[in-house]
Structures are given as C-alpha cells and as structure tokens.
Structure 1
Amino acid sequence: MKGHITDKKKKSEKKGAVKRIFLGALLIGIGALILGGCGSSTEETQSEQEKTASAKKEDDKIQIGLTVDSFVIERWIRDRDVFVATAREMGADVNVQDAGADAKEQISQIEYFISKQVDVIVVIARDCGALSDVIQKAQNAGIPVISYDRMINNSNTNLYISFDNRKVGEIMAQALIDAIPQGGDIFMIQGSSTDNNVHMLKNGFDDVLKNSDLNVVYEANCEGWMAELAEGYMEEALEKYPHVKGIMCGNDDIASQVVEVLAENQMAGDVIVVGQDGDLAACQRIVEGTQYMTAFKPIEDLAREAAKYAVEIGSGKDPSELEGVTETVNDGTYDVSSRILEPIAVTKENIDKVIIDGGFHRRDEVYLNADYS
C-alpha cells in the first residue's frame, strides 16, 4: 500500500512540473508577442515620421513653373537644361511645360501653375501681347512672374531678364556696314511681330543704318518665328531685287532658310547674311563663308542668372534688391525691374575665342565642313 501511495505522489509531482513548464513557456510566448508588437509599432511610427519629414522637406523646396514657347528653336533647349540644372543645385524643383508654339496652350499652362500654387512662374512668351490677363491672375494669386528673354507687354511682371535687344540690332547693322562698305540694297527678314524683342532690335538696327549707304528695299516678318516662311519671302524679294548685297535675319534659324535660297540661286557667300543666337549651324556657316555674323548671346549665363533669381524671388525677395538688377525696362505700361546682359558680334575672326574657347560649341562641331588645322 505504501508503495502505491508513493507512486501516485510521484505522478502528481510530475504533472505539476509539466504544468509549470507549460505555463512558463506560455508566459514567455505572450511576452515575446507583446514585445514584438511594441517593436512593430515603433518601427511603423518611425517609418511614418520619416515619410512626414521627407514630405515636409519636399514642401519646403521652391517650386518653379517654367513655360517655354517651343523647343523647335534650338536655343530654348539649352536654356531649359541650364536653368533646370541651376535651380536643382539650389534645392528647387522645376516643372517645365512646352507651349508648342501655341499662345492659348501657354495660357493654359500658366493657369495650371496657378492651380498648383507654385512659388514663381517663369515665362518664355509665345505672344508677348496675349498673356497680360493670365499674368494678372497669377499675381492676384500671390505668385510672382518673370519675363524670360521676351518682355510680356503691359503686365508688370516682377522681373525681366534678357539681353540688350536694341544692341543686337545695332551690331547687326554695323556688321552689314563693315562688310558692305560700298553700300547697296539689303533685306530684313525679321522674327515675329508679336515679340517685343523684334521691335527693340529693329529700333537699334534702323538707328545705326540711317547714316549709312545701305538701303532696306524689302521687309518681312516670320510670324510665330516660323523660319520656313523665310523661303517664300526670299524668293519674292530676289525676284524684285536680284542685286541684293546683304540680309538681316531675325535669328539663325531664319538665316538657315535664307542661305538655302541663296545657295539655290548660286549666291551663297556673295551676299552678306547676319543673324543672332550662335546656333551651331550658323557657326558652321560662318567658318564656311556663307553667313557673315551671328549676334551671340551667352544664353547659359542668362539661364543661370534667371534660375538664381527665380529661386530668390520664390523665397520672397524683392526683385529690385537682387544683385545685378540695376535698371528698369518699360513693358508698354509699367517700368519693370530688369537684368540686361550684353550680346557679342561673332564673325570668322573671333569665333574660336568666343564660341569654342568659351565652351559654347566644340571645335570639331563648328569646323565640321571646314579646315581648322
């Protein structure tokens, strides 16, 4: 009997030990779940905090809206690239829109920027006289606007940054006078009449030309800066005035069409052609001898300064207090704070120094079809 009781006691003790082991394991498991749950919660909280901080950092960035007339014109691509790179280096974001040579589309793009509540809008205007109402909307929404390269008329934009367009006209006229000392008939195949720069350029051109022996016998405007129109104008002008000595072209894109027509008439190289912008094709024609001069505008300097100003104005700085903004230009109604850069007359004599040594185009590109040994 005693042995039987002892066996029951041992079994009871064994069951108790098993229960204690089970309960211990259960408590450890529950503790681990609780701790694991806390760890997950902490990780989720940290992740949310990081997301919030990242979003806040993005919100703190200056938001710039840039609307461009059209990337068909070679120089605007370079302007855009330098502008965007500079703005990003300064910690800003740039939303680039291509108006596709459509003034109504550009108005829609500016309205889009207003709805996005960007900090500043930069406009390379398609039609300088068609944007005043939408610019007023932007300003009513508290968004400053910068006229880039082309002044937006009667709009009182916060800043105008460009080159001295009157000076461009002056150096074009002087180049023709220097190259045609005997005088003679010349054509003017200009840019769009809706571009305020075209009028400033013509004023400078006319003022220098009036005391010379050169006579403007034909004038036309490539509306919308459509260079293809120059072909028809040239054919018409040559039919009336076949002994033309020189041609002023609104830009180098127009000059391309002009030189092509001259070549078809075996006149390329005999007629003095001037343009502006320093396009690669124009530089190639200069070293080849079919274009005499391009009024070069260091557009990378323009783009860098414009980006810097956009960030500063978007941060709340007054345009009149910005470094380099030392004058005003009238937009037809208002005097606008302005930054004006100087153009440079580039001919065969200084193209290596200005264009190649300056890093604007490579030597092998410029001299692609000419000897540069």
Structure 2
Amino acid sequence: MKKLGLFLIILIYTMTFASCSEDNVPTYQGDETENKIHIGVSFDSFVIERWQRDRDVFVYTAEELGAEVNVQNANGDVEKQISQIEYFIDKKMDVIVIIAVDSKACGEVVDKAKAAGIKIVAYDRLLITSDADLYISFDNEKVGTLMAQTIKDNVPEEGNIITIFGPTTDYNVQLVEQGYREVMEDANLNVIYSVNAVNWLAEEAYDAVNEALLISPQIDGVFCGNDNLATEAVRALSENRMAGSVVVTGQDADLAACQRIVEGTQTMTVYKPVDKLAKAAAEYAVKLAKGENIDVKTTINDGIWDVPYVKLEPIGVNKDNMDEVIIEGGFQNREDVYLNIPD
C-alpha cells in the first residue's frame, strides 16, 4: 500500500508539472507572434538589378525594428500581384508594401485591404486612385530632366535621337517623360524612333536601335529609361561599330552601366540612393503598423486623393563624378567599376 501511495503522488506531481508546461509555452509563443508586426511586400519583379538591393535593405531594416517581412515576386504579372495582395489580406498583415506592376490595376484590392484595417505603402511607383497611406519614391520628373539635359547638351543641333521609355503601366514613366519633354521642348533634335518597352524588357531597346538604323544610318543619342535598356541599346550600337560615338543615358547606376560610363560607351546614369529609400520605407511601414504619426507634409494627387509623399533626390552621374558619388558613396566598389580599365 505504501508503494502504491508513493506511486500515485509521483504520478499526480508529474501530470501537474506537465500540464503547467503545456499551458505556459504556447501562451508565451502566441503572445510573441501576436505582438510582432507583419509586413507583406509584393515586388513587380527582380528583372531590374536594383530591386534585389531594395528588398535586402528593406527586410534587414524592418527586422531590426522587430517586424516580420513576407516578400512575394509577381514576375511582372498583374493578376499574380493582386493574388499576392489578397493573400496578405487573408494573413492579416499590418502593412502591405506594393511595387506595382500596373499603377492603375490595384485599386479594388487595395480598397479591400484598407477596409480590413491594413496600411498601404506605394513603394517607388504611385498607386493610381488607391488612397495609399504613403507614397515613397524619388523625384522622377527630375530623373527625366537629368537624362534629357545630357542628350540636349551633348547631341549636335539637328541630331538624330531615339527615345526608349519604360512601360506605360508604370506611373513613374509618365513623370520621367514629363521631365524629358520640359527640357527638350526647345531642343532642335530629331526623334527618329520612339518606343515604350513593355514590362521593361531590355530586348526592346536592342530592337529599337536596329529599327532606327533602318530609318537613318546616323544616330547621335539614345535616351534609355533605365540602365538595363541601355545595356541592350549599347549592344546594338556595338554590333554596328557605333558604341562610344553615340550619347547614351540610363538610370539606376547598375554596375554594368557604371562600367560602361568609365569605358566610354554610356554617357551617364541617374543614381537613386535606393538604400536610403528602402531604409526609410521600412521605418515608415513600422510606424504605420504601430499607428504612429508619420509626419509627412508633402502630398501627391493619385487622381482622386492627396497621398503623403516622401520624395528623395536623384543624382546625375557621369565619368567626372563617378568616384565621388558612386564609389566614395559606397554604392559600387572601385575594383568592380574599373574592372576593364587598365591600371
């Protein structure tokens, strides 16, 4: 009987201890998960080199601030992006950050997210008629003026130029074109070929240069909407033994573009400090999730609503200020930029 009594005491003690452990552990983990800020990010794609950098800086900053980030890649597919946003809504994200495939296509799903109490950040590209809680980007009109000014200053009077803009579905492209037109309004230059590259497909720049050459053998300048397009434009020029004698512009300060600039086959690029943009976006996203005042005074009209707008300044980069802006600024390494330049 004594042995039986001792066994029952041990059994009761063990069951009681186990019960306490099971109650405590899930409760602690559940509270930790519930208190964590959840941010969903839907990228247009990672075709453009800079987006990978934006992603890495954003995720690192947000996680340092205690948030959990779920990154999705729409691969340039509008319907896929809408589906990703709906998934974020179902997962009850606190904030959804959108790099729009099509600036006009997300209105309905954004309305659904906002009705669920989710904050919306339009990253780099404005969401049209969507009443986002924040739009953070660069001064894209100035991007266009910087590139256009390079064409105007370096192409001779009555010279022939090609313009290769980004897709019409990207609202930033409209702003870039606006900046371009303001500069070129009084320029005495001939636009012999113009195209908008669908989904930023770089191959369209290669085709554009070759199509223009069928119109005229003389090309003096190529306005490229980004450095990826410039890569293919320069390839076409190289095949026709024209690289280095034609003014070529771009934006994003991709490594390949920086290399071409110091080598002399691309004239300039527009540097947009994406590290600063991504870091600021993550900080604002966390503030929005916490219900804090973001204190943004500048606004931009999305077609209906005035949206708080954080606007960063772009910088034109050529051979003369490459070291100062890109290398000393830590955006690219000197040995990489000057890889093909003999010591």
TM score, norm. by length of structure 1: 0.88
Cα distance change of structure 1 residues 215 and 58 upon mapping to structure 2, 3 Å threshold? same
* Partner AA of 2:198 in structure 1: E
Gaps of 5+ in 2: none
> How large is the RMSD of aligned CA atoms in angstroms?
1.6
How many Å apart are 1:181 and its aligned residue?
5.3
Q: 1:4 maps to which residue? A: none
Residue 240 of structure 2 corresponds to residue 268 of structure 1:
no
Query: Could you report, residue by residue, the CA deviation over 1:101-146 in whole angstroms, capped at 9, with x for unpaired residues?
Result: 1001001001111111110100000011111111111112221111
Pairing partner for 2:229 from 241, 254, 259: 254
Q: 1:191 maps to which residue? A: 166
The 8 Å contact of residues 45 and 73 in structure 2, kept in 1 or not, is answered as yes
* Partner AA of 2:236 in structure 1: V
Pairing partner for 2:334 from 341, 344, 363: 363
Q: 1:322 maps to which residue? A: 294
Pairing partner for 1:117 from 92, 108, 131: 92
Distance 1:332 1:216 in 2: 30
The 8 Å contact of residues 193 and 208 in structure 2, kept in 1 or not, is answered as no
Query: Could you report, residue by residue, the CA deviation over 1:142-166 in whole angstroms, capped at 9, with x for unpaired residues?
Result: 2111110001111111110000000
How many Å apart are 1:69 and its aligned residue?
0.4
Ranges of 4+ aligned residues in structure 1 off by more than 4 Å: none
Q: 1:338 maps to which residue? A: 309
Q: Mapping of 1:156-235 within 5 angstroms?
A: 156-180=131-155, 182=157, 184-235=159-210
Q: 2:28 maps to which residue? A: 53
Query: Could you report, residue by residue, the CA deviation over 1:61-91 in whole angstroms, capped at 9, with x for unpaired residues?
Result: 1110100001121111111111000000000
Query: Could you report, residue by residue, the CA deviation over 1:6-55 in whole angstroms, capped at 9, with x for unpaired residues?
Result: xxxxxxxxxxxxxxxxx6xx35x733652464145325413531331122
Distance 1:33 1:72 in 2: 67
Distance 2:305 2:190 in 1: 35
The 8 Å contact of residues 151 and 196 in structure 1, kept in 2 or not, is answered as yes
SS for the counterpart of 2:280 is helix
Residue 97 of structure 2 corresponds to residue 126 of structure 1:
no
Q: 1:100 maps to which residue? A: 75
Aligned residues: 343
The 8 Å contact of residues 63 and 92 in structure 1, kept in 2 or not, is answered as yes
SS for the counterpart of 1:247 is strand
Q: 2:40 maps to which residue? A: 65
Distance 1:167 1:114 in 2: 35
Cα distance change of structure 1 residues 363 and 48 upon mapping to structure 2, 3 Å threshold? farther
Gaps of 5+ in 1: 1-22
SS for the counterpart of 2:42 is strand
SS for the counterpart of 1:276 is coil
Residue 269 of structure 2 corresponds to residue 294 of structure 1:
yes
Distance 1:76 1:236 in 2: 30
Distance 2:24 2:146 in 1: 60
Distance 1:32 1:241 in 2: 99
How many Å apart are 1:212 and its aligned residue?
2.8
The structure having more radius of gyration, on CA atoms, is: 1
Give me the identity figure in percent: 49
TM score, norm. by length of structure 2: 0.96
Farther off after superposition, 40-49 or 121-130:
40-49
